[in-house]
Structure 1
Amino acid sequence: MKTQRFLLLILFTALLLVFTGCSQSPEAKESPKEKAQTQKVSSASASKKNDLPTIKILATGGTIAGKSKTSTTEYKAGVVGVESLIEAVPEMKDIANVSGEQVVNVGSTNIDNKTLLKLGKRVSKLLSSKDVNGIVVTHGTDTLEETAYFLNLTVKSDKPIVVVGSMRPSTAISADGPSNLYNAVKVAGAHEAKGKGTLVVLNDRIASARYVTKTNTTATDTFKSEEMGYIGTIADDIYFHNEITRKHTKDSEFSISSLDKLPQVDILYGYQNDGSYLFDAAVKAGAKGIVFAGSGNGSLSDAAEKGAVRAVKKGVTVVRSTRTGDGVVTSNGDYVKNDLLASNSLNPQKARILLMLALTKTDDPRKIQDYFNEY
């Protein structure tokens, strides 16, 4: 009898051990089937990341890379490196495969022709690779529109190029750089952004490099396209609502691939009691072109016009723009007869960019005027 009880006890213990082993939690022991499912999920996650667009961030400095204690106006621009900019916005990794490259690290007032050529060639080379879907350029806001328009005229690709900056340094309260950078990466990775030329993204707005300009010294909504309008907005999703009709990027005639310098073009400003001597000084200093920021419809005083005509006779191209901020400068009257060209709707700083590139192809005033009407 005791033997039977002992055998029953052994049998009961064995059954208990078997039952306990089978009822272990999934965390304690994973079946082969469960392992296969886990590997499938991991593989799917990796595949999803590989499906994200690849965006290259080219950093040039500016306020977005600036530092201060808390001030929004007193800071040192071009201090923070590109890797720190990327690390500060880890959410970008959810929308794109992002990597960075430091081109220069300066305030945008120190962006010169040499830097423009270096940046333009680098953007072109990167976009020629099938592994890069779009480019983001971080830039100081003071001359951002000029660099953006230069890229708009010289990069032969329909892949998105987005230029971005901020009005507050990275250390300021409510810094706008991280949000602007995140949005720029999102736009650069959007299929809808292809073929629209170089774009400028700040303050939840998408603007064409051709039409946008800085309008306020310190406000975060400083970049506006007041005459022509923004081409899109960002409200979590991206919404495009305008098209660009001017020539740009892959349809542009301008190429910088073989250029190592750009012709000197100066900007002169019109005002009451101005004179002709500023034109004489620019010509003497080696200017090949002059943009005149005139009053109203690109108007020149009698004295300024004499200086402009003398410059033209010495082989210098003169383009009339306007200091008003908006509107089309038209070709008219004696200005046409004297080969004083009209900038159309380009402000003085962008007229300078186009004139520099135009002079790399021709000095024919009629052809250069055509460029201003087309680009």
Structure 2
Amino acid sequence: MTRVHIIGTGGTIASKPESASRSNDLDDSTSGAVASVGIADIIGVTSVEGDLEVSSEDLLLTGSYALDMSQILMIVDQIQNRIKDPHINAVVVTHGTDTMEETAFLSELVNDGSKAVIFTGAQRSAEHADTDGPRNLRQAILAATDPRVSSMGALVCFDGVVQSARGVRKSHTTASQPFSGGATVATFHDNKLEMVATPDRRSTLALPANGFGSVRIDVHFAYPGSDSGELIKAARGGANAVVLAGTGVGNAGPGYVEAVMHLTDMGVPVVLASRAPSGPVVPIYGNGGGVDLIAAGAVSAGVLSPFQARILAACLITQEVSVFEFKELFSSYR
């Protein structure tokens, strides 16, 4: 018998509107959706067949937009604890979509590939007539029990598609499939999992220390007229590293090359990502473009979104590496 353990953290899949009384004595009204449904109740409306045992726990009950770095680390630490349990064959995590890409990627960075770890959630809250949560959870459980995915690290299962955590990003606010990027490793057809590809994986990082929660990694977006001096202000203000979300394939306007050089001299790493919703950073342009930014000391984020790049940067900063070591390690794990 296969045992899948489900860790509930909240998110839309666990959310329902709550009645809120207004202070001016008007009639009660309905507030916004709030994570309030325990994972056992979600499992109760999820139909899963087969020789399967499901266990569960509520670790958190919150919208993922409210998570901080310490809570993300706590989720991943608990995933690692459950993976070590010899009686558990796979782990499924229900999580809000807003920041799922960050938590799933941290899980991927520390996952040794011995057991499947699959993230899922919902785009429509639990009380919705056409809620997608139970279907997504059922497919995530089915994927987790498939031996073909057990060595693929952390994955995201949503709307019939299973994607690698590395490179995935939320690219649509309301669509039933909100994620793009990463590698599509499998798809569901009539509740049967059909394999598509094997994700490219890296070596495993150690789980970050508790200092991960207090590491400051700023993200700065380049746009016409943006101020490159903000990078220097961030470094002087205590940022341990900066992610520059450049335009296109990784470019930025006047002053950014000098700012990157200044931060490098200060010992503050700069990661060059792209603000585009998909595609890798590919240094092509001079005159202050990506080629010059890399030459000035920035390291390419590759296929990582600015926010996954931030997670990897935070992991490396906790190791107290030099700027040179940071660039070498970041390039090998991105």
Q: Normalised by the shorter chain, which TM-score bucket? A: 0.7 to 0.9
Deviations 1:222-246 (A, max 9, x none): 2123xx6411011211111201123
Deviations 1:312-353 (A, max 9, x none): 222211111111122222356432332111111211111111
Is the CA contact (8 Å cut-off) linking 2:167 and 2:305 kept in structure 1? no
Q: CA deviation at 1:216?
A: 1.0
Once the two structures are overlaid, the 10-residue window that deviates more, 356-365 or 194-203, is: 356-365
| Higher share of residues assigned helix | 1
Q: Which residue of 1 aligns with 2:28?
A: none
Q: Which residue of 1 aligns with 2:107?
A: 151
- AA of the residue aligned to 2:316: A
Give the SS at the match of 1:282.
helix
Once the two structures are overlaid, the 10-residue window that deviates more, 112-121 or 287-296, is: 112-121
Is the CA contact (8 Å cut-off) linking 2:121 and 2:136 kept in structure 1? yes
Q: Which residue of 1 aligns with 2:79?
A: 123
Q: CA deviation at 1:286?
A: 1.6
Of 74, 80, 85, which aligns to 2:42? 85
Classify 1:308/1:134 alpha carbon distance in 2 versus 1 (closer, same or farther; 3 Å).
same
Q: Which residue of 2 aligns with 1:230?
A: 184
Distance in 2 separating the partners of 1:184 and 1:130: 20
Distance in 2 separating the partners of 1:304 and 1:339: 11
Distance in 1 separating the partners of 2:183 and 2:95: 22
| Higher share of residues assigned strand | 2
Is the CA contact (8 Å cut-off) linking 1:66 and 1:75 kept in structure 2? no
Of 95, 116, 122, which aligns to 1:160? 116
Q: CA deviation at 1:366?
A: 4.0
Distance in 2 separating the partners of 1:315 and 1:321: 19
Deviations 1:183-228 (A, max 9, x none): 1111112111111010100101100001322121111022123xx6
Give the SS at the match of 1:104.
strand
Alignment of 1:105 onto 2:68: no
Q: Which residue of 1 aligns with 2:263?
A: 311
Q: CA deviation at 1:364?
A: 3.4
Deviations 1:38-92 (A, max 9, x none): xxxxxxxxxxxxx2x11111111110011139xxxx8423111112111121x23
Q: Which residue of 2 aligns with 1:246?
A: 201
Alignment of 1:350 onto 2:308: yes
Q: What is the root-mean-square deviation in Å for CA atoms of aligned residues?
A: 2.0
Give the SS at the match of 2:74.
helix
Distance in 2 separating the partners of 1:188 and 1:75: 32
Once the two structures are overlaid, the 10-residue window that deviates more, 196-205 or 279-288, is: 279-288
Give the SS at the match of 2:260.
helix
Alignment of structure 1 residues 19-38 onto 2, 5 Å: none
Is the CA contact (8 Å cut-off) linking 1:67 and 1:169 kept in structure 2? yes
Distance in 1 separating the partners of 2:88 and 2:258: 51
Distance in 1 separating the partners of 2:135 and 2:258: 50
Is the CA contact (8 Å cut-off) linking 2:216 and 2:314 kept in structure 1? yes
Give the SS at the match of 1:356.
helix
Q: Which residue of 1 aligns with 2:286?
A: none
Deviations 1:72-115 (A, max 9, x none): xx8423111112111121x2364521121111111111121111
Q: Which residue of 1 aligns with 2:10?
A: 61
Q: CA deviation at 1:285?
A: 3.3
Is the CA contact (8 Å cut-off) linking 1:96 and 1:185 kept in structure 2? no
Distance in 2 separating the partners of 1:245 and 1:142: 24
Distance in 2 separating the partners of 1:333 and 1:208: 28
Q: CA deviation at 1:129?
A: 1.3
Identity of aligned residues (%): 27
- AA of the residue aligned to 1:171: E
Is the CA contact (8 Å cut-off) linking 2:124 and 2:133 kept in structure 1? yes
Distance in 2 separating the partners of 1:355 and 1:260: 13
TM-score normalised by length of structure 2: 0.87
Distance in 2 separating the partners of 1:57 and 1:165: 12
TM-score normalised by length of structure 1: 0.78
Distance in 1 separating the partners of 2:294 and 2:16: 49
Aligned length: 313
Deviations 1:238-280 (A, max 9, x none): 1112011231xxx313333x43434211111111111133213
Is the CA contact (8 Å cut-off) linking 1:232 and 1:238 kept in structure 2? yes
- AA of the residue aligned to 1:231: V
Distance in 2 separating the partners of 1:198 and 1:326: 20
Distance in 2 separating the partners of 1:374 and 1:194: 23
Q: Which residue of 2 aligns with 1:277?
A: 229
Q: Which residue of 2 aligns with 1:364?
A: 322
Alignment of 1:290 onto 2:248: no
Deviations 1:282-318 (A, max 9, x none): 2233210100111122112123333333222222111
Is the CA contact (8 Å cut-off) linking 2:257 and 2:296 kept in structure 1? no
Give the SS at the match of 1:261.
helix
Give the SS at the match of 2:197.
coil
Q: CA deviation at 1:147?
A: 0.7
Is the CA contact (8 Å cut-off) linking 1:274 and 1:303 kept in structure 2? no
Give the SS at the match of 2:115.
coil
Is the CA contact (8 Å cut-off) linking 2:211 and 2:318 kept in structure 1? no
Q: Which residue of 2 aligns with 1:261?
A: 212
**Structure 2 residue ranges without an equivalent (≥5):** 19-30, 284-289
